[in-house]
Structure 1
């Protein structure tokens, strides 16, 4: 193929996406034209029901003919791509997640890099949130249509070269053309440089235990100290992988451990943040009001607390018939790995499975599993509460037009960064496991100032004289008062989402 192309347009760690986009722009050819020329014979001959609707993987490039790509670009693009991916995931090689798990499935880019036609695998790497070349926050939604764009070779999601399907241009080369595409960028982020210097996961500071969605390079760098550390005797309290999956007794122990951790968080919040609002919580929880009157205004602090518990524990209703202390279920663990904090069960289980399976069938100290679970549960539960508190007044005023509790949960997960390292050491001829927890709090835990409708002592005392209107009680005391039943049902429906 006779094409306008220069070898210096390809940079270290560059993705095939920007390489193909540059080829498209410089030669005024479409992606379909590129694929017709460089796709392998099997893929080219497939019947495509919608013209231009191909969605081709940019990780393996298996739909392309390797030799043709090498003729076009002057390098083996397939091997170049594989080497880039492997270099970034090398410190994670003992992890059971596939390499592609560590990269975003939608396009992420740096506005400064893309202005020079450059897009890097470092931008797609989930453990990075800022461009390592310019230290600016990475973009992941189109500025015009506000959508995520799948990281694919596709006309379905992209328009002209370096453009979203909606027409938004990531970069405008109409005047400069390709004169700046050979610009070299230097990595300035120290955490990225440290990561790229690692050869394997057996480095002196321990093996890495992390999930793709919950880590970043900052907490894994030598510049970030561990937040908590605990040592365990390797030979004590040992369990097998079968115990983790099938032992009812062990799963109950993990469940009770989670209950105790949640109650610790709950007590901390009630004692240190909400100590002025215990009556407000009681009022909202038990649907208290005076006879013949509407329900009183809801305290934003109580609203945040009650819905924090409901969302985190995945309880069916926000209201309760009573508010006895420590009123939480202690019957879990009967059906495999369960947690009281149901909203984060799958996330913690995935991490614990990773830890168990990394031991290649050897028995492990069960206390290590409980400690990892405690650290995750405590820290996530606490920052999730602060996020609920931040938005509670807005939800009260605007219902769920701007946000809702489930969205707050997902946003909190997106900003929750935690990782563990562990190493086996010999102490006095005994083998021990040192576990270190690394955590980065990106959530503002400053207590938000809201206006409490029960701020006066008189109003607080008035709550104790109110009557509960939970459905079970009014069905007994007012079985035929349909107006009251409908009123209470409407109130519950408004706040029970």
Structure 2
């Protein structure tokens, strides 16, 4: 294959994706033809009726012939990619996550970089949310079709070179062609420079974080710790098996989570929404006057009720009891469970990482409760503020505009927390010193939504309204099918 290619078009830490896109554009050749020529013998002989729709891994490049790629690009692209991934993840080798777990499975890019035909592994690195070359927020969805684009070599999700399947162009080289592709960028982000300097070490300090909820910023020396706690050797210890199989210990963790949730819940109701307690009661208990439609919903109450429903994964948004203390305490029967069901798996992965890092030794029980407490408290509060900022739009535009699960995923994507811990080996005192690092990205400014119950008269009127909970109307109006259908329709509209 005689190809137009220049060695200076490949930059340090560049991904195979942009390298292949440049090859496709410069030679007016499709991805299918590139793969047809550069695939290994197994792939070439593979019986696939939709070869142009194959989704090919860009991490290992195992579907390509290594020698052919080296002939085209004048560099061993397979080894170049492996070295890039290895170099970026050296400080992470003590963690048990696979190397690929630290990189996004969908395309993330910097508009400035891509205008020069450049896409870096640093853009895919989950511990970075901003381009380290330009300090601009990385893009993760196509501006035109608003979809995540899988980070793979495929015609199924991409159109022409440097364009989405929907037609959106990441960069337009129709006039300048490849005259800027040899441009080199300088990393300006201090945390990234430290990470890549090979001097990034914790000097006996161990780290605890997940690929989804950490950042180079909070892991670097530039970010101060938010909370610290020391656990002595006298604290209760447990074995690894206790974490997975002890009913009693898992109940203790569950109750710890219940108490944490109640702390957040009380703070929200008594501090943030203290003027909307009647609004919450109205929406939560389906209150209205006889013969009238359900009243307008207060956005603050709407945010609170659906924050609680989504976080706890409750079946319904309405409730017969609005006391915040009424929560189940029967968890821990089947292993690790939490009341805040929506974040159970996230916290469990973190605790498992800590437990398994002990390599068979006993683990301090209080440390697990503290980690769980810090994570669940800060996430629950961050998620509430995100719900609060979106509530009014959801009321106005409905599910087609957005929904609570999307808000939850957005909060998770922006939630950054990590722990550093070190053993204390004094002559008298021995234990573990824990520090928690947290980056608060939530917008905690209370939005100025319009409350339909802003007047004292309307607030007092709520106490005289009647509850139309399903169980009650089936009992009081068993044959009033018009009313039953009306209430069911109202519930369906808001129960998503």
Q: Which residue of 2 aligns with 1:453?
A: 452
Confirm or deny: 8 A CA contact 2:266 2:324 kept in the other structure. no
Cα drift, residue 213 of structure 1: 1.4
Task: Using the TM superposition, give the Cα deviation of residue 452 of structure 1 relative to its aligned residue in structure 2, in angstroms.
Answer: 1.9
* Greater alpha carbon shift after TM alignment, 18-27 vs 335-344: 18-27
- Map Cα deviations across residues 150-194 of structure 1 (whole Å, 9 max, x no partner): 211222222332222333332222332222221111100111111
In the alignment, what sits opposite 1:483? 482
Q: Which residue of 1 aligns with 2:257?
A: 258
Task: Please give the residue correspondences for 1:280-429 in structure 2 after superposition, counting only pairs within 5 Å.
Answer: 280-429=279-428
- Look up the match of 1:88: 88
For the 8 Å contact 1:252–1:332, the answer to whether it is kept is yes
What is the CA–CA distance in structure 2 between the aligned matches of 1:210 and 1:282, rounded to whole Å? 39
Residue 253 of structure 1, CA deviation:
0.2
156-165 vs 402-411, greater mean Cα deviation = 156-165
Deviates most, 256-265 or 63-72: 63-72
**Who is 1:57 aligned against?**
57
Local SS of the residue matching 1:425: strand
CA distance in 1, matches of 2:436, 2:266: 23
Q: Find out whether 1:187 has 2:191 as its counterpart.
A: no
Residues 430-463 of structure 1: CA distance to partner in whole angstroms, max 9, x if unpaired? 4321111111111111111222222222222222
2:111 match: 111
- Alpha carbons 2:132, 2:187 under 8 Å: kept: yes
Q: For the residues of structure 1 that align with 2:464 and 2:147, how far apart are their CA atoms?
A: 51
Paired residue secondary structure (2:61): coil
Preserved contact between residue 91 and residue 199 of structure 1 (Cα < 8 Å): no
Distance 1:129 1:471 in 2: 46
Deviation at 1:4, TM superposition (A): 2.6
Secondary structure at the residue paired with 1:276? helix
Is 1:46 aligned to residue 46 of structure 2? yes
Aligned to 1:214: 213
CA distance in 1 between counterparts of 2:204 and 2:442 reads: 27
1:67 aligns with 2:67: yes
* TM-score for the superposition, normalised by structure 2: 0.95
In structure 2, do the counterparts of structure 1 residues 324 and 108 end up closer, same or farther at CA, with 3 Å as the change threshold?
Answer: closer
| TM-score, scaled relative to structure 1 | 0.95
Offset of residue 145 of structure 1:
3.0
The answer to whether the Cα contact below 8 Å between 1:92 and 1:208 also exists between their aligned partners in 2 is no
Match of 2:139 in 1: 139
Distance 2:491 2:145 in 1: 36
Q: Name the counterpart of 1:100.
A: 100
* Aligned equivalent of 1:242: 241
Number of residue pairs the alignment of both structures matches: 496
Aligned position for 1:173: 173
* Per-residue Cα deviation, 1:240-287 (whole angstroms, up to 9, x for no partner): 111000000000000000000000001111111111111222222222
The whole-number CA distance in structure 2 between the counterparts of 1:90 and 1:358 is: 17
The answer on whether the counterparts of 1:227 and 1:436 sit within 8 Å (CA) in structure 2 is: yes
The gaps in structure 2 that reach 5 residues or longer are: none
Matched-pair contact (CA < 8 Å) for 1:241–1:357: yes
- Contact persistence 1:286–1:469 (CA under 8 A): yes
Moved more, 466-475 or 237-246: 466-475
- Residue deviations 1:394-439 (CA, integer Å, cap 9, x gap): 2223332311222211211121111111222213344321111111
1:235: Cα distance to partner?
5.3
Aligned match of 1:223: 222
RMSD across aligned C-alpha pairs, in angstroms?
1.8
Distance 1:244 1:352 in 2: 9
Instruction: Provide the C-alpha distance between the structure 1 equivalents of 2:80 and 2:233, rounded to a whole number of angstroms.
Output: 42
365-374 or 208-217, larger mean C-alpha shift = 208-217
Matched, 1:77 2:73: no
Distance 1:473 1:356 in 2: 48
Q: Which moved more, 1:37-46 or 1:246-255?
A: 37-46
- 2:460 is paired with a residue whose SS is helix
CA distance in 1, matches of 2:400, 2:257: 33
Name the structure 1 match of 2:19: 19
Instruction: Judge conservation of contact 1:282–1:323 (CA < 8 Å) in 2.
Output: yes
